[in-house]
Every structure is written in C-alpha cells, then in structure tokens.
Structure 1
Amino acid sequence: MSSDAHETGTTPGDGGAPASETASDTTSDCVFCAIADGRIPAQVVAESERSVAFEDRTPAAPVHVLVIPRRHAATVAELAEASTDDLADLFAVIPEVARAKGITDYRLMVNSGASVGQTVFHAHVHVLGGADFTEASMTPQA
C-alpha cells in the first residue's frame, strides 16, 4: 500500500481531487476538504484557523497524524504558490501535534505528486513517531 493510502483507508485516488485542480477554499469531492470542514468526522489532534491535524485511519507508525490546510491545494507546491501563509501555518501546527501526542522526535513526510506516491490530492504532511525508524524507510523497526 502506498503511504498516502494510509490516510483514509481508501484505495489509491479514492475521494481525492484531481491533480490538475487549482487551489481554492474547498472542493466538494475532496475527502480532506470534507474532514477540514467537518462533513467527515476525524480524530482531530490540533487545529488552527488555517490548518487541521487528525489521526491517520490506518497508521504506519504508533503516532501517525496528517496535517492539512483548510484551503484546498492538490500538492504542497501548489499550496506554496497559492499562499505562503497557509504553508507556514501547516508547519506551525506540527509542534502542537507532537505535544498533544507526547512525542519529541518525529519524522515528517510529504508526497507531492502522483509519481512519488501521492494518492490523495490535497496537500498534507505526515507526522510519524513513537518508534525507531530506519534511515531510508517510513516503516518503524521491530
């Protein structure tokens, strides 16, 4: 399973907005937009006016939280072009996630585009922790 498929427990591409979509406030068929505006329930860990962080439904580590902008942008690159304030806020929420989950060490992972494994086309950052990780793998060591 690709890493982005962990986010919602869906099959790749299920519920995601097309990669060619431009940044906007929300997109009606985007699962992450629906989580951000409360149409789909999620276990929220931290949030701000511009971002929301929630538990991954099929975690790849003991701590696996997704941080998303409330504004729809298909990729992190698209988000950066649309709003550096939204991008900065996305990363400002990450220390709040770490505090809420009781971790000091964590790995951040971003897939930006289909060719590198992005399957849900709403910009997001994976916050992974609670385990030792090998240097080159997202999978924690046993």
Structure 2
Amino acid sequence: MTPEKTLFSQIIDREIPADIVHEDEKCIVIHDINPKARVHLLVIPKKPIPTLFDLAPEDKDLMGHMMLLLPQLAQAQSLDGFKTQIHTGESGGQEVFHIHIHLLGN
C-alpha cells in the first residue's frame, strides 16, 4: 500500500489547481489559500519530506535552495522586508505533512 499523497504533492502533480508564483526543478511556490498577510507564499519542495525531523543530510542543498529563493520571491512581490515560518509537527502547528516555508509580508 502506497502512502496517500499530500495536498502539496497533488498540487505539484497538477491534480489540484493552485496559484503558482514560481517553479523550478527543486520546488514550487504558491499563494496560500488562507493568507495571513498581504503577501503569503508557500515555498514547497518537490521532494515530499513530512517534517523538519525527517530531513536527511542529502537534503541540505534543497533546503539551501529554498532559503536563497526567499529574498528573490520577496523582491518580486515588491517587499522590502518579510518574515518566514516553518511549522514542524502537529504540536508546532503543521497542518500539511510536507515541509514548506511560509513567506509573509505587507
């Protein structure tokens, strides 16, 4: 039995529509459907990693890629500052168990 695909894996596979801001070989960036700021983007790796606890040493380049992408995305959205959030685990507020970075700015 294969595990059920997450919402984000379904978006990556184009099974569910999303407002895509950026896509490359490693990640996809979408507008959050329930924004908490004027700009609220989700930076999602294409590799389905459930939580930060599940990161492996070979994921450092992927995570670095996502972190370096954040300021580029912010500038493209005309932000001169932003904050990021990564929820980890149910008690950390994580709702979709596929790691992602929230980029928020006003």
Identify whether the pair has TM-score above 0.5, normalized to the shorter chain.
yes
Structure 1 residues 32-64: Cα deviation after superposition (integer angstroms, max 9, x where no partner): 011122221111112221011110011011110
Structure 1 regions of 5+ residues with no counterpart? 1-26, 131-142
Q: Out of 79, 89, 101, which is 1:113 matched to?
A: 89
Seen in structure 2, the aligned counterparts of structure 1 residues 47 and 79 have a Cα distance that, compared at 3 Å, is farther
Point out the structure with the larger strand share.
2
- State the 1:91 CA deviation: 1.2
For 1:34, the aligned partner's letter is: Q
Partner-residue secondary structure (3-state), 1:94: helix
Q: 1:55 aligns to what?
A: 31
The alignment status of 1:73 with 2:73, answered yes or no, reads: no
Point out the structure with the larger helix share.
2
Give me the CA root mean square deviation.
Answer: 1.6
- State the 1:94 CA deviation: 1.0
Q: 2:65 aligns to what?
A: 89
Q: For residues 58 and 9 of structure 2, what CA distance do their matches in structure 1 show?
A: 16
Structure 2 regions of 5+ residues with no counterpart? none
Identity %: 35
Seen in structure 2, the aligned counterparts of structure 1 residues 49 and 78 have a Cα distance that, compared at 3 Å, is same
What TM-score, normalized by structure 1, do the two folds share? 0.67
After TM superposition, the runs of 4+ consecutive aligned structure 1 residues lying more than 2 A away are 79-82
Q: For residues 99 and 31 of structure 1, what CA distance do their matches in structure 2 show?
A: 27
Partner-residue secondary structure (3-state), 1:66: strand
